[in-house]
Chain A
Amino acid sequence: GAGVSQSPSNKVTEKGKDVELRCDPISGHTALYWYRQSLGQGLEFLIYFQGNSAPDKSGLPSDRFSAERTGGSVSTLTIQRTQQEDSAVYLCASSRLQGYTEAFFGQGTRLTVV
């Protein structure tokens, strides 16, 4: 596609429910990143993919968070048993070469846990 696409753009969920956030990177980009940003804060690294593998999962806050990437393309970030502190904007980015080239960001998914 023309840019990185994230869906949904907004998600309101009840505490304890599971949510899935989707990211469609730019075609041909091998690297894909997930970040989380709370209101007025910086970007908190969650996980990145090189192809379908995730060399660094160190940023995932707890075992309630998981992510996968299939076919070297679409990625899904899953949060199980959501908590109020999970409320944030979840940003996805992709780049042609991990670490070496500019990253292109999607518009993010604003998750609100009530």
Chain B
Amino acid sequence: SQQGEEDPQALSIQEGENATMNCSYKTSINNLQWYRQNSGRGLVHLILIRSNEREKHSGRLRVTLDTSKKSSSLLITASRAADTASYFCASGGANSKLTFGKGITLSVRP
């Protein structure tokens, strides 16, 4: 079963605007991770938030986690054209595989 489900499926914004992407998951987790993929090849890890954390920052990225709602959000502030990519959330935990959602396609218009 799909553990992570992102929404929206696609997002198009103007350069300089903020982009917010959401992820929901189904079972208990130890952590929630966000990844980025360019050109349909390898994924790059962006940020990991543990189940006992509520918010985490890394540069222009801010991720939140609400374990009561089984949801997470990724905010990219002051977006750039180079942020155009697909973004995936993945849930991790004890004795569980790292399970990915279907991804969000972000387009940032110059």
The answer, yes or no, to whether B25 is at the interface (CB within 8 Å) is no
Partner of B40, one of A39, A45, A56, A105: A39
Given A42-B88, A42-B102, A100-B30, also A91-B43 (CB < 8 A): yes
Q: Which residues of A contact B100 (CB under 8 A)?
A: 35, 42-43, 45
Contact A99 B42 (CB under 8 A): no
Given A42-B102, A42-B103, A99-B92, also A48-B97 (CB < 8 A): yes
Q: Which residues of A contact B43 (CB under 8 A)?
A: 43, 91, 93, 103, 105
Count CB-based A-B contacts (< 8 Å). 68
A104 CA to B99 CA, complexed, in Å? 14
The answer, yes or no, to whether B41 is at the interface (CB within 8 Å) is yes
A99 CA to B30 CA, complexed, in Å? 8
Contact A33 B97 (CB under 8 A): yes
Shortest A44–chain B CB gap in Å is 9
- Residues of A at the B interface (CB closer than 8 Å) are 4, 33, 35, 37, 39-43, 45, 48, 55-56, 59, 89, 91, 93, 95, 98-108
- Residues of B at the A interface (CB closer than 8 Å) are 30-31, 33, 35, 40-45, 48, 88, 90, 92-103
* Known interface pairs A99-B96, A99-B97, A102-B45; 9 further A-B residue pairs with C-beta atoms within 8 A, sorted by A's residue number: A42-B103, A43-B103, A59-B97, A89-B40, A99-B30, A100-B94, A103-B43, A105-B44, A108-B41
